[in-house]
Structure 1
Amino acid sequence: MHRSHLKRLLTVLVAVLAVVLAAASPAAASHPDKPKPTIVLVHGAWADGSSWAKVTSRLLDDGYTVRVPPNPLRLLSTDAATIRDFLSTLSGPIVLVGHSYGGAVITNAATGNPNVKALVYVDAFAPAAGEPIFPLAGADSALAVPPENVFDFVPYPGAPAGDVDLYLKRDTFLTSFASGVPRREAENLYPSQRPLTLSAGFEPSGTPAYDTIPSWYVLGTRDLIITPEAQLFMATRANSKITRIKAGHLGLISNPAPITKVIEQAARATR
């Protein structure tokens, strides 16, 4: 009787051990011993780091370390250098995310950095070597009209000859840049827009990081600033994993949940 009971107990213990080992196997777990990557969010033109607020809060709730360094919006090469220097202060794996012009910045800033394991583009420019960003917006972009119809030109100290800060005109900002954002929220965003220099929009890009780093792309199918067709061209060329969402150019504000999901997919792929 005693031996029979002991045999049954051993059988149960063996079964339980098998379940535990299976649960701990690589097939059932995503290497829990590896740290979560740091998520670095880079904002675009006519915005600042607060444009990422709704995505940031979701990532923090899910246990990620998040950094949102300021993008100077002065010149593509120096903006990329600023973000590159910031990345150099971080240890461990990094997922680098760029919105709009921020996509061009991360394309240059991540090149050659072994800690950047994934790039995520959100309604963003993903230029090839030698390409400036403005022509990549698409033939039907709200920006593809006479500049004086879209921008307010503002001088800035120390500007090279002919260079100016570009502010979006109110109508362009509200109806095209912030399309899909509740009107009152868009009206609150307009006064605090941060300008991009004219020269930043026409400086040729450098060697693209997406040639060597896996990338994801969130494509806003209602974007009026970087057209969906232009986004698809750039995302396909970069061999990005594409997710389409029904959102305008500021999907990170109007539709933060699916964008957060894509960022976290990229983060899990690094582990």
Structure 2
Amino acid sequence: MNRNPSRARRRFSVLAMLTALLLLVSGGTIATADTTAGRTTSAKPTVVLVHGAWADAGGFAAVETSLDLAGYKVQEFANPLRSLESDSAYLAAYLQQRTEGPVILVGHSYGGAVITNAATADPDVKALVYIDAFVPDQGESLTDLLTRQGPVDPTQLFDFVGYPGAPEGDADLYLKDEVFPVVFANGLPSLVQSQLLASQRPLAAKALAEPSGEPAWKTLPSWYVKGSKDQIVPPALQQFMADRAGATVTTVSTGHLAMVARPDVVTATILRADRATR
């Protein structure tokens, strides 16, 4: 039993003041011997998932669950799908203001172009993981990449829906009902195809034609999961972009939604990127 309560209170008061002072001078964080430049070297990175067009982050549900169980913090970026430049700026701001410590960026499809343009805005980003994704070089548009394989007729793929305030000639692109299960969600159960079709989010047409900026893959290590049955981003184009970026490639026998069909492979690739960059 403490025989001098007033002395104990004084000691507690002094300790409280010292703690407050440490918090003030360290910007609200007590530094430790294991911290370098504000980062704990042993900390697992935050994994930021960036979905592409005609989808949302729900496609990463199984991957997110696996990462959660493995002790990773996972964040879903709500990709606006308005334009490559503005979507990348949104992601850059999100990374700077909503993440702390090391980050692994994961981009699916169009989301790959977005992480390519946004990653260098935050020095904490340490790796890029592409899933059936576009990986443009500077000055390339998604249309440039797609037409490497031959001409593409957008009227055969999309329903064009005008939106308020759209720039002249722009419109929202929705995959046609008959195209979606064959091209976008091929290889998945029919019920899953129907659910994904009902929840598809459109991409503004101008996003396909915008030139990409300086690519983050020139300075950051990257990994790539390639769907060998992809009907949106042809496998040969995926391989070309991955090789050019110097990415480590894993091939799976899936369509465009590898993270839905093989979440185990996508999760393992993210973990591999973390281990390689610690």
Category of TM-score, reference length = shorter chain: 0.7 to 0.9
TM-score w.r.t. length of structure 2: 0.83
The 8 Å contact of residues 122 and 217 in structure 1, kept in 2 or not, is answered as yes
1:85 Cα deviation (Å)? 0.6
1:71 Cα deviation (Å)? 0.1
Runs (5+) with no aligned partner, structure 2: 1-39
Residue aligning to 1:187? 194
- Relative contact order: is structure 1 or structure 2 higher (C-alpha 8 Å, sep ≥ 6)? 1
**1:228-247 counterparts in 2 under 5 A?**
228-247=235-254
1:256 and 2:263 correspond = yes
Aligned with 2:100 (options 86, 91, 96):
91
The 8 Å contact of residues 150 and 172 in structure 1, kept in 2 or not, is answered as yes
Superimposed CA distance per residue, residues 105-163 of structure 1 (whole angstroms, 9 cap, x where no aligned partner): 0000102421000000000000000000123236558xx53211110000011100000
Residue aligning to 1:117? 126
1:78 and 2:86 correspond = yes
DSSP 3-state at the match of 1:110: helix
Task: Report the number of matched residues.
Answer: 238
1:56 and 2:47 correspond = no
CA distance in 1, matches of 2:190, 2:107: 24
**1:1-271 counterparts in 2 under 5 A?**
34-89=42-97, 90-137=99-146, 144-271=151-278
Alignment RMSD (CA, Å): 1.4
DSSP 3-state at the match of 1:162: coil
TM-score w.r.t. length of structure 1: 0.85
Equivalent residue letter for 1:62 = A
Q: 1:147 to 1:91 in 2, by over 3 A?
A: same
% identical equivalent positions? 51
Structure 1 segments of 4 or more deviating over 2 A? 137-141
1:184 Cα deviation (Å)? 1.4
1:180 Cα deviation (Å)? 1.2
Runs (5+) with no aligned partner, structure 1: 1-31
CA distance in 2, matches of 1:145, 1:112: 33
